[in-house]
Chain A
Amino acid sequence: MRKAMMLFAGLLVLAVLVGFSACSRGTPSGMIQDKIIKIGGCVPLTGGSAYWGICTDQAWKDGAEVINARGGVKIGKDAYKLQIISYDTKTSTPDAQTVTKRLIEQDKVKYIFNQAAASTVGMLEISEPAKVLSSVACWGYLEMYGKDYYYHFRSEMSDYEQGFAYIPYMKAKYPGVKTAVFIGPDDKDGYDCYYSYQRLMKYYGIQDLGVEYFQWDTVDFYPLVTKLLQKKPDWIITSPTPPQQTASIVKAAREMGFKGPVASPGASETKTILEVCGEQADKVVLPVTIEAMQTQVQKDLAERFAKRFGNFNLYAGNLSWWVYALAEAFEKAGTAEDTTKVAAALGDVVLKDTFFGTARYGGEGAYGIKRQGLYDCYTTVIENQKPFLADVRFPELPPGY
């Protein structure tokens, strides 16, 4: 009986593996009617980064639809439609490797978008040697970025770039701020954000009093904030912290008597902060966050999202320009096959009318290559439980950036 079991098991394994390989052969090459450019999504759709991953996915799908509706991407005499294929990385690096392999080897894509450090790291070691262009939002792992990673675009402004946009505003609005303390999650994103802030604070002449890292499983921020406030800072920065943890930090700090501003790049949701903090929601500075749609582009996008996905997550707007930039890069380079040419073209793309105004890539000085996304920073501030758009400016980058 046991042997039968073993056998059955073994044969079933084989059968399923062979069957799986047969049916995941992918679409046959050489599509007849439409010319298609396949773009892969290696995004966390479940797990800790699901919110951002889903937003990224939505932003690309929406953009692809808009581009296809206006005729697609024109290369030479042909018009190409964009096709988005995305898989879930489960916010896990080994799974991101699996997804990247599937996209490149199985689905034969040459362009991938990604979200968050865990997935990006899994993808890069496979996508770079394969010369696959990647457009990501990743704030950490700076050692995997720069001249040696020619095809790797960081399209979302990290803390460092955002700082040059909103810190000038903060210094004007809260002139008494001389010292600051940083609190971030205990992972590479947190460490690298702190590194960004060390440089920023040095540049802007604010004294850095230190850093605290919180575990993702923290249920109460009182103990940590108690520790933070012992240092008596003027300003608390928390990054990259999702809105609910940001809100708890603000609430705890205010309840314990902290009167200074709290800045949270990366929070991007005012509603959560208002709900959690209640009366304590005051002097909360949220860069790259927008609450009410201002320009026509923004309003259109919000409307399309509501229709297509049922609701509009503000964060998706931040990323919406990436696909338009890539489309323009295809047209400028005159090819969708040669990723080296497309990458070169993408580095030089300048868009004027995106969700966040002007958007382009920069960073030759800072990173050795123009691969860092830069765009207008909309800073929203919550004062006395009322959020309002406080400042819009393009990052005032230091010379030599």
Chain B
Amino acid sequence: MNDQSKAISRRGAWRFVLLWIVGIAILLAFPFIIAQERYVLHVAIVVFFNICLATSMWLIWSLGFVSFAHAGFMGVGAYTSALLLIRLGLPLWVGVWAGALVGGVLALVVSLPLMRTRAVYFFMASWAVGEVIKRIFAYYRGFFGGWEGLFKIRPPRLGPIDFANRTAYYYLALVLMVLIVLAVYRLNKTRTGWIFWSLHEAEILSSHVGIHALKYKAGAFAIASTMAAMTGALFAHYHGYINPKSFDIWTSEFALVHIIVGGLSTVAGPVLGASILTIIDELLRPTEFYRIIIFGVILILTVLFLPGGLESIPKRLRLRLWKLPEDKDTRKSIFSVFGKGRK
């Protein structure tokens, strides 16, 4: 960034905070804005779930790898919470934390051997983990319900509020989403976040500087998988029915598509990508296979022509509109504006 743009950002700091508050307020008031129209609320809830998944996957990406076990951990949270309700009668309030715990511990355990692998081997190994998790759910029909799935996963009550009411569940999903996005945002901003990115760039170099790579990689993986598990728990109690097919590679892949199209450099990327693509997906429902082709085209166009993703659009517009003098960084790629030098 050159001096001019730095100065501009400093001036506008307070304005941003104010707009932030307005944004949150609108999200809170949303159900009433749309007169509690139920189908739209449903789409909003699905959008929130997808944002959670995409954002937590982005956390893993910030360390430099892609985990295809993500949906598997979502399944772990979902099944833990569902089984606690069905077998022991414990509500979602217990289930979501239990799911988080089980997911987190499992992720830690799995990450130790997993982190030994590199790059594309990691991708395949994580895929294997996700597949095995899903297949275990399918295999044990008696305990997990097998391919048939689990039914009657009722949403909980909290005092007078029954979360079977969709508006109530909207707020629940909203809370989870905000928590996860905030957590990832804060994590990314702190020193830990800088360490993540340095591991992303050059792991060997980082370890030479004294950063214990395994600790951070396993930690991030565990945190992200825990977030996925919590999302899974809410997912299970919302839909009321789960089966192993909801937690397969396609779910992980769509989370990946969301973060690529949305943008990879800040947490705004997964948020944008997940929300916009989920809505496009809904709008394209009657179109049969063309919907999938359109997704593929969007993805290719993004990678080839808009590598910063959707979140880089305001930056590009700003550079265009205000005709800031191009320093050597901006000419290379949009990421380098942030001084992080990602390719």
Contacts and interface: CB of A to CB of B under 8 A. Distances in A.
Interface string B272-291: 10011001001101111101
Contacts of A20: 40, 43, 279, 282-283
Contact of B239 (A17, A46, A97, A191): A97
B241 interface: yes
Contact of B243 (A18, A86, A93, A105): A93
Interface string B21-32: 001101100100
B194 interface: no
Interface in A73-113: 85-88, 92-94, 97-99, 101-102, 105-106
B304 interface: no
A11 B149 contact: no
Interface string B171-196: 00000000000000100010000000
Interface string A1-19: 1111111111111101110
Nearest to A141: B148
Interface of B: 1, 9, 12-13, 16-17, 19-20, 23-24, 26-27, 30, 33-34, 37-40, 42-44, 46-47, 138, 147-149, 185, 189, 235, 239-241, 243, 245-246, 266-269, 271-272, 275-276, 279, 282-283, 285-289, 291-292, 311, 314-315, 337-338
B289 A12 contact: no
Contacts of B23: 7, 10-11, 14
Contacts of B283: 20, 24
A332 interface: no
A353 interface: no
A94 B239 contact: yes
A188 interface: yes
Interface string A112-126: 000000100110010
A11 B43 CA distance: 17
Contacts, number: 146
Contacts of B271: 6, 9-10, 13
Given A4-B12, A105-B37, 15 more contacts: A6-B271, A7-B20, A14-B30, A17-B40, A20-B279, A21-B34, A24-B39, A24-B283, A50-B288, A93-B243, A98-B42, A98-B46, A101-B42, A102-B42, A106-B37
Contacts of A88: 285-288, 291
Given A6-B185, A17-B40, A106-B39, A94 B246 contact: yes
Which label, helix, strand, loop or mixed, suits the secondary structure of the B interface?
Answer: helix
B9 A187 contact: no
Contacts of A54: 288
29 contacts: A1-B1, A3-B20, A4-B16, A5-B266, A5-B311, A7-B16, A7-B19, A7-B20, A9-B272, A13-B272, A14-B27, A17-B40, A17-B43, A17-B44, A17-B47, A24-B39, A46-B289, A46-B291, A46-B292, A85-B286, A87-B285, A92-B245, A93-B245, A93-B246, A94-B239, A101-B42, A105-B39, A188-B147, A188-B148
A186 B138 CA distance: 9
Nearest to B275: A13
Contacts of A9: 268-269, 271-272, 311
A45 interface: yes
Contact of A6 (B33, B147, B267, B315): B267
Contacts of B267: 5-6
Given A17-B40, A98-B46, A125-B240, A6 B20 contact: yes
B338 A1 contact: yes
Contacts of B286: 85-88
A50 B269 CA distance: 33
Nearest to B337: A1
Give the most central of B16, B19, B33, B39: most A CB within 10 Å.
Answer: B39
A3 B314 contact: no
Nearest to A54: B288
Give the most central of A21, A122, A186: most B CB within 10 Å.
Answer: A21
B153 to A, nearest CB: 11
A188 to B, nearest CB: 4
A106 B275 CA distance: 20
A119 to B, nearest CB: 12
Contact of A118 (B185, B245, B285): B245
Nearest to B286: A87
